[in-house]
Structure 1
């Protein structure tokens, strides 16, 4: 048999295998959709459940822990092994729910036990943690993940697909473990005084917002007034001052003001961000007053403004950007809590703005699309373990959803003619998505704002992957694309 015939046979076998695997995956997805419908569990309207999304966050953590083992903290590696346990439970959950939705309706813990053993063995045998310590943390993580999955899919209908619920609940569990491990067990202690100061401030901001949100949730109808809200904010503010006094010092407010205001570059950067925030607020107020429903292209304006903020921060002062990102995330969560609170006139004003800017994916209990946008832009600041020298990875959110997704939406709606299958995405939009990301990297290098080996090639590869994923999936782009881009950058690490 000559080489050409052998090659054709091998290609045919691979094609047949791919077809069979694809058919099996589609069949599983369809069966899960049927089981959810039979169990009266309503997920966010979508043609697929996005089951593959469960591996994205663990893949990012494991890849960094493996490829940059010397540059990551003990806490980061700890989280990577915990995430493997969460991914294991995700696979078992998919198997269970493809048979019956009883895994969501009843207390079934077999998958939790098996997944706990996976992460416990990794922590004990590979990282060298104490066995009991490993079992306790792994059990807490997997059980919390299982419980949060049930809450996300049952208590909040139409808010998440299964894949989106997996990513969100994985993030909540891992973020909670990070907070507890860092501030109560002293894991991953900071040697860098400046970063310790920034992390202490962010912890104080987010925990204060948590107090406000928790208090709002337990209010009854008679207590939902501005005076009660003012009281809650004062209590949270007092708590914040106490924590800052303990962690930063009695001069905490002065130190925070000095950190921002006594450096000219930081002041200019802060004023630029403030200008972007004011423009965003004015646009929202005007369109809300006019009650003109925003189109998809109009909503992408906020992608551009958000990208300008994060791009400038990453290029000029990553640490100030990290501090600002923590504050911004707390503000986004607080605004959403106030919108759902029923406290007038705040709640109705925020609801009016939401009605104008919501899209077809915001049909659930919460406005997840803007939250996903912010998290997508900011998540590389947390997921990339070392900032200095890894600025390219830090731009994953900016490149994929700030620039690429926006460009694809605008160009595709204006000039797109050839569609990907039956969906609205076009080949022209995808090509412009990829070219826009490469063009941004070219401009950054042209002005000497970043110096990374083979940056253009790496961005071209990552942009190609994220562009195709953006065109083919029906999950929320703001949540998926930054993680896909981070994984793509890791796949090209050898070029660095």
Structure 2
């Protein structure tokens, strides 16, 4: 009954989007189930673990966003006007839900209202101004993540958490400053008139952004912050070897990118998965060997990826031409909009468990690896094996049953290898992985949403529920 209702809603939404001339990313479905993933993860952790006050606030806000998304989907199944014309009724209802679930009324009402209205504005903007970039579900889950991350960062900056680890406070401050600087630089970049878009202007923007970062670091961390940072990254806890390993992997990725771009030969799916493997090795080694350093690197890396993508569409020559050439070689059929979302989704899929999992203890290591296992190992293995040996295809899908089976086996084998080398110490890890990998592989076989985005969240939810039976 629920499935048939979902299908009926999806068809109505597709019809209304066509009538309203709203161009979403071409796909067989709109992915209207995706908006459930993030709130489900946050609520489950709140129910199963003793999480921090900030985590509870973000969870409650996610419930408000979930209620708004549900209303949005319902209204969109009736008319496309919900996208084109501002309708704040759903925002007020969802804000009220969040307010009633929080504690202090003034803080709750202000936070929830700003969250809901920001989400509404961004959702309408992305669907109207970024044609063929998102499906409805992809837009919802991406913007849920953006809004909740921004709100949590602001709260963490304004309200000092006495229970927070000093190491994590140091990392969060650096990441926040870098991301704010990137946001400001990107805003200035797109505010420039066409005549000012030059390399000289770009250098000025970068230097100004760098100066902004240095001033804040100097003010907060002291005049010796540069040697302090270098010591933290390269010397503390013997991190030098790990950093060298990451630098080598990054160098290999850049070399592969440049070589393929010079050849101007379109990369196939298996070739693109090479970057999945290299990126996954970075996150796998970081999560297993040095989580704080991985968190720091992931935050700074996100800023760099966003800035590079902004440069690609900024019309600053010759930078834009070079980046666009690389994009055309490595893009797939899902990158048909203005933005290159697939590589960004890959990065988010690998890094998001670092923010969603509330504790960095051995008990939670398997959940921290949900992105690595689902897209770095499973999806890559399924793609390779399915293209080479796949014969029997799933109904209404281009994915093969052989690829799905190898997806499951590769994830279980990876976890077994980690246990064998004493790198993973999570109870019932193989059993839990087998169940979660099966669920994730079936979703991968049937969904037409971007795998890099939805699979890590799906696997994380599956791993959460395996804790109930283990």
TM-score bucket of the superposed structures, by smaller chain: over 0.9
> Displacement of 1:264 after TM fit?
6.4
**Which structure 1 residue ranges, 5 or more long, are not aligned?**
1-19, 124-128
1:214 equivalent in structure 2? 187
Q: TM-score, normalised by structure 1?
A: 0.93
1:126 equivalent in structure 2? none
> Displacement of 1:190 after TM fit?
5.3
Residues 1:53 and 2:34 are matched in the alignment:
yes
1:460 equivalent in structure 2? 434
Structure exhibiting the larger radius of gyration computed from Cα positions: 1
2:416 equivalent in structure 1? 442
> Displacement of 1:63 after TM fit?
0.8
RMSD of Structure 2 on Structure 1 (CA) = 1.1
1:13 equivalent in structure 2? none
Residues 1:44 and 2:18 are matched in the alignment:
no
Residues 1:197 and 2:170 are matched in the alignment:
yes
SS at structure 2 position matched to 1:422 = coil
Residues 1:339 and 2:333 are matched in the alignment:
no
2:351 equivalent in structure 1? 378
Q: For 2:3 and 2:208, how far apart are their aligned partners in 1?
A: 55
> Deviation digits for residues 176-220 of structure 1, max 9, x if unmatched?
10111011233x455321111111111121111112111101011
**Which structure 2 residue ranges, 5 or more long, are not aligned?**
none
2:44 equivalent in structure 1? 63
Residues 1:275 and 2:256 are matched in the alignment:
no
> Displacement of 1:494 after TM fit?
3.0
2:377 equivalent in structure 1? 403
Q: For 1:227 and 1:262, how far apart are their aligned partners in 2?
A: 36
> Displacement of 1:242 after TM fit?
1.0
> Displacement of 1:247 after TM fit?
2.1
> Deviation digits for residues 64-103 of structure 1, max 9, x if unmatched?
11111x2x21111000000000000011001101000111
C-alpha change, 1:242 and 1:317, in structure 2 (3 Å) is same
> Displacement of 1:474 after TM fit?
0.2
**Count of residue correspondences:** 469
The answer as to whether partners of 1:458 and 1:495 remain within 8 angstroms in 2 is no
Q: For 1:247 and 1:383, how far apart are their aligned partners in 2?
A: 27
2:291 equivalent in structure 1? 318
Of the three residues 283, 286, 296, the one matched with 2:259 is 286
Of the three residues 69, 75, 78, the one matched with 1:96 is 75
SS at structure 2 position matched to 1:366 = coil
C-alpha change, 1:478 and 1:66, in structure 2 (3 Å) is same
> Displacement of 1:495 after TM fit?
4.9
Q: For 2:186 and 2:202, how far apart are their aligned partners in 1?
A: 10
SS at structure 1 position matched to 2:272 = helix
Q: For 1:427 and 1:302, how far apart are their aligned partners in 2?
A: 24
The answer as to whether partners of 1:453 and 1:495 remain within 8 angstroms in 2 is no
Q: For 2:8 and 2:229, how far apart are their aligned partners in 1?
A: 55
> Deviation digits for residues 338-364 of structure 1, max 9, x if unmatched?
101111111100000000000000000
> Displacement of 1:261 after TM fit?
2.2
1:33 equivalent in structure 2? 14
> Deviation digits for residues 108-155 of structure 1, max 9, x if unmatched?
1111111111111111xxxxx211211111111111111111011111
2:219 equivalent in structure 1? 246
SS at structure 1 position matched to 2:33 = helix
The more displaced of 263-272 and 305-314 is 263-272
SS at structure 2 position matched to 1:222 = helix
Of the three residues 465, 474, 487, the one matched with 2:461 is 487
1:7 equivalent in structure 2? none
Q: TM-score, normalised by structure 2?
A: 0.98
Of the three residues 164, 180, 184, the one matched with 2:158 is 184
Q: For 1:434 and 1:271, how far apart are their aligned partners in 2?
A: 32
Q: For 2:100 and 2:351, how far apart are their aligned partners in 1?
A: 32
1:12 equivalent in structure 2? none
SS at structure 2 position matched to 1:494 = coil
C-alpha change, 1:421 and 1:262, in structure 2 (3 Å) is same
1:265 equivalent in structure 2? 238
> Displacement of 1:469 after TM fit?
0.4
> Displacement of 1:265 after TM fit?
2.9
Q: For 1:103 and 1:193, how far apart are their aligned partners in 2?
A: 45
2:63 equivalent in structure 1? 84
List 4+ stretches of structure 1 deviating above 6 A. none
> Deviation digits for residues 401-454 of structure 1, max 9, x if unmatched?
000000010001111111011321011000000000000000000011111110
The answer as to whether partners of 1:149 and 1:169 remain within 8 angstroms in 2 is yes
Of the three residues 299, 305, 325, the one matched with 2:278 is 305
The answer as to whether partners of 1:418 and 1:428 remain within 8 angstroms in 2 is yes
Q: For 1:393 and 1:84, how far apart are their aligned partners in 2?
A: 22
1:430 equivalent in structure 2? 404
